Amino acid sequence: MSDTICHCMNVDRETIVKAIKEKNLTTVEEVQDATTAGTGCGNCIPDIEEILVENS
Ligand code: FES
């Protein structure tokens, strides 16, 4: 079980990390397009930015 990062869209950390690595994503917008994470209330965007920093 991986922790949920985006509660609006129910996207977990593993899904985001996998998308970043497989598609070489570098921006929040690219993560939003690839996973839908961050496309609701926006509260998880700082977490997405952190995951991008950790995995790029
Ligand atoms: S928690 Fe991700 S958009 Fe609301």
Q: What digits encode the pLDDT tens for the residues 3-48?
A: 999 999 999 999 999 999 999 999 999 999 999 999 999 999 999 9
The pTM assigned to this predicted structure is 0.94
pLDDT at 50 over 60: yes
pLDDT reported for residue 56: 82
- Indicate if the pLDDT at residue 1 is higher than 90: no
Q: What is the reported pLDDT for 53?
A: 97
- Token digits for 16? 């985001």
Ligand 1 atom showing the smallest separation from residue 37 Cα? 2
56 CA → ligand 1 middle, Å: 21
Rg, Å, the chain Cα set: 10
Query: What domains sit in the chain, N to C, each tagged with a CATH number?
Result: 4-55 (1.10.10.1100)
